[in-house]
A = this chain, B = another copy of it.
Amino acid sequence: MNLFIGIDLGGTNIKSGLVDMDAGKIICSKSVPTLAREGHEAVIDRMAGLVHDTITANGLSKQEIGGVGVGLPGLLDLEKGSVVFLPNLPGHWPNVPLRDELTKRTGLPTAMLNDVRAITLGEWRFGAGQGSENMVCFAIGTGVGGGLVINNRLHLGIGGQAGELGHMTIDQNGPTCGCGNHGCLEVYASGPAIAAMGMKAVVQGRTSIIGKLVDWDMNKITPEVVSKAAAQGDAVALEIYETAGSALGVAAANVMVTVTPRKIVVGGGVAAAGELLLAPMRRSLKERVTVVNLETVEIVLASLGSNAGVMGLATHASQMVNEK
């Protein structure tokens, strides 16, 4: 059995992918709006519908699918197969036995996973992390998430929460984070943090082209705009990415002294800035870590883009089925 389906539940869309595990390819992708306000029952129906549509659209029968991996943006109870907390999805999700509900509707074995852990697993199996016995992934977008592969296995830990790297403290006296802690990585290196630094610079009247790039409409300042300014040599924009990249380097250094991965994969929308972010991250890692030999350590960009999640979810489902 080499065909598995990944279903990635996001705040806006539900994405599905039929993955050929031998070829390492997505054969067919689909997407439908989440419409979470209609309630969790309707969303689960739509997820099950996507599974059904994916199978029939490819002229397959249910018996030809090994299983389904479902990714969710939040805190899960992996043992019960239920949701604990989905911060960005309206509708009453706590304690919804999502895994069993989906199995009931699709008749297929179903495995659940946090969405960023799915990206980690996808990049490890088919992307930039291939061949790394130990690998850590940072996914930088609206928040900063992450995941760990240790000894060639996705490390889940309590409730699959291992790898919440955005909430690593890098300055114990730093600014307050949305999570309640102080000085979390996310305060310095998330998309909103980068945009906020751009806004602040413009509001303070610093010499920068950022303001002009958005026609002085502060709400249009995004990490992409700041990165565009940096590409044109804008000193303020470069400084902003230096701050974010250095913070990521501190977190990478902490990951390095803790689990010493050979590869650190950086993905998520903000990673589109590429070397702008990775160069200060590498420098900061190197400056801070002297107790581990970094010669064979690499920080690389994720390579699967928005396919990583679905491919990781299919991988998770295939591992579950094969280990049974």
A250 to chain B: which residues have CB within 8 Å?
169, 172
Given A258-B255, A259-B148, are A179 and B290 also a contact pair (CB < 8 Å)? yes
Bound Cα distance from A84 to B134, whole angstroms: 22
Interface positions of A from 143 to 157, Cβ below 8 Å from B:
148, 150-151, 153, 155, 157
A169 to chain B: which residues have CB within 8 Å?
170, 250, 253-254, 288
- Cβ of A161 < 8 Å from any Cβ of B? yes
A297 touches B165 (CB 8 A): no
- Cβ of A228 < 8 Å from any Cβ of B? no
- Cβ of A173 < 8 Å from any Cβ of B? yes
A162 touches B258 (CB 8 A): yes
Integer count of this chain's copies in the complex: 2
Given A171-B173, A173-B171, are A161 and B292 also a contact pair (CB < 8 Å)? yes
Given A258-B258, A258-B259, A291-B179, are A151 and B161 also a contact pair (CB < 8 Å)? no
A258 touches B168 (CB 8 A): yes
The contact of A261 among B157, B164, B170, B254, by CB within 8 Å, is B157
A255 to chain B: which residues have CB within 8 Å?
258
Bound Cα distance from A182 to B290, whole angstroms: 12
Bound Cα distance from A65 to B102, whole angstroms: 55
- Cβ of A125 < 8 Å from any Cβ of B? no
A262 to chain B: which residues have CB within 8 Å?
158
Bound Cα distance from A259 to B247, whole angstroms: 20
A150 touches B155 (CB 8 A): yes
The contact of A260 among B157, B254, B260, B297, by CB within 8 Å, is B157
Nearest CB in chain B to that of A163: its residue: B258
A289 to chain B: which residues have CB within 8 Å?
167, 181
Bound Cα distance from A258 to B185, whole angstroms: 12
B134 touches A257 (CB 8 A): no
B253 touches A293 (CB 8 A): no
B259 touches A157 (CB 8 A): yes
B259 touches A162 (CB 8 A): yes
A287 to chain B: which residues have CB within 8 Å?
180-181
Bound Cα distance from A168 to B252, whole angstroms: 10
Given A151-B150, A254-B254, are A75 and B171 also a contact pair (CB < 8 Å)? no
Bound Cα distance from A182 to B133, whole angstroms: 30
Given A150-B150, A158-B260, A260-B161, are A168 and B254 also a contact pair (CB < 8 Å)? yes
Nearest CB in chain B to that of A255: its residue: B258
Given A151-B151, A164-B292, A172-B247, are A158 and B253 also a contact pair (CB < 8 Å)? no
Can you offer 8 A-B residue contacts whose CB atoms are under 8 A?
A: A75-B291, A84-B293, A148-B258, A165-B258, A171-B171, A182-B288, A254-B258, A258-B259
4 closest cross-chain pairs (CB), A and B? A157-B260, A164-B257, A158-B260, A162-B260
